[in-house]
Amino acid sequence: MKVLIISEKKSFALPFFEAFKEKNIRVKYLRLEKINLVNKKHSTTIKPVGKELNSFDGVFLQARSSLAPFIEPMLDEFEAKNIYCNAKQGSFYACNNESFKLVSLSLCGVSTIRATITGSDKSIEALSTKITYPIVIKSIKGNAIQQSILLKKKSELDLFVKSIRSDIDSFIITEHIESDLISCIVIGDEVIAIKRKYAEDNICQLEKGANYKVTDSEKTLVLKAAKCLSLDIAQVDISEEKVVDIKSVIDYAVFDKISSDSVELKVAQFYSSKIIEHGEKSSIFSEFFGIKDIISKTIFSRFFK
């Protein structure tokens, strides 16, 4: 087995080298900023990997969701070449769009914090009455959050409305979390969690949290949330059995330090089993009635390794 690790910093990848080696998986690292996507006719070449990409069984990707316009074409190419990746097509677009993320989770039947989305500043005051104070209002420009502010009473809301710029595209109004936050790493069907205390309107930083064992219902919730956004590995934050946020970037070092688990080994073990499963499914389909041999002689051969 051979896995390509792609991240923005090599320091992220280093702890995983030994873990993958222990599972008899060869590893190569590629820094995200060195990648160029070259589109030719009906395919996209990922440089400097090029044709070497075909030699990899899996890609372990960690990148900010804000890089979605760059990441998503790569995910398309991994899928086309039947290379397993921990993120699927559309996952980064979903994580990078706060409104779409909340709507997607809701459509999947995932319990989330109460939220209202509007494209009009004139609707804010009326909509905010549906959520008990304190509330959090996020102003959105494009897909980016321009401002996130906690409002404890109506007079503060009035001041906020007066300060709104004309170039804001939309607003998200949510309830303010006033309880402990559980930050979870989802690795396939496993969950590793850190409990973060709430005090004085704030949640403590991740590194100041404590190891936590999720309940069965909490585990079901976070697994369902990650699956909904097509992420096999993700950080899912929950509070009172409601999803608060989902992130594509995970601070593995902190989870390693606080939890009693070796996160890197769990990731390596997950990749080992997932690559085998991914290969078996591909083989069953492609060999069915000799389809693989037939397709290999057509323009669709690029979809099969």
CATH code of the domain covering residue 158: 3.30.1490.20
CB 282 within 8 A of CB 82: yes
Residue 284 counted as domain residue: no
CB 207 within 8 A of CB 195: no
Residue 154 counted as domain residue: yes
Same domain, 168 and 227: no
Residue with tokens 């290379």: 83
32-75: pLDDT as tens digits:
999 998 887 777 788 888 889 999 999 999 999 999 999 999 99
Does residue 284 carry a pLDDT above 50?
A: no
- As to burial, measured by CB atoms within 10 angstroms (0-12 exposed, 13-18 middle, 19+ buried), residue 73 is middle
pLDDT band at 155 (very low <50, low <70, confident <90, very high): confident
Same domain, 212 and 246: yes
Backbone angles phi, psi at 302, to 5 degrees: -65, -15
112-136: pLDDT as tens digits:
998 888 888 778 877 777 778 888 9
Residue 27 counted as domain residue: no
Domain extent at residue 188: 179-258
Same domain, 193 and 149: no
Q: How many helical (H) and strand (E) elements, i.e. helices and strands, does the chain have?
A: 10, 17
- Pick from 73, 30, 21, 69: nearest CA to 52: 30
CB 233 within 8 A of CB 225: no
Residue 227 counted as domain residue: yes
Residue 282 counted as domain residue: no
CATH code of the domain covering residue 205: 3.30.470.20
Domain end call among 122, 155, 175: 175
0.75 surpassed by pTM: yes
Q: If you ran DSSP here, which 8-state letter would residue 231 be given?
A: B
Domain end call among 136, 160, 175: 175
Same domain, 186 and 145: no
Residue 57 counted as domain residue: no
- The whole-angstrom separation of Cα 114 and Cα 52 is 47
High-pLDDT (> 90) share of the chain, %:
56
Residues contacting residue 241 through CB under 8 Å, at least 6 positions apart: 111, 217, 218, 221
pLDDT band at 300 (very low <50, low <70, confident <90, very high): very low
In single-letter form, the type of residue at position 232 comes to D
Same domain, 164 and 183: no
Residue 231 counted as domain residue: yes
Domain end call among 143, 175, 207: 175
Kind and range of the H or E run holding 160: helix 154-163
Residues contacting residue 151 through CB under 8 Å, at least 6 positions apart: 133, 134, 135, 136, 137, 157, 160
Q: How many structural domains are present in the chain?
A: 2
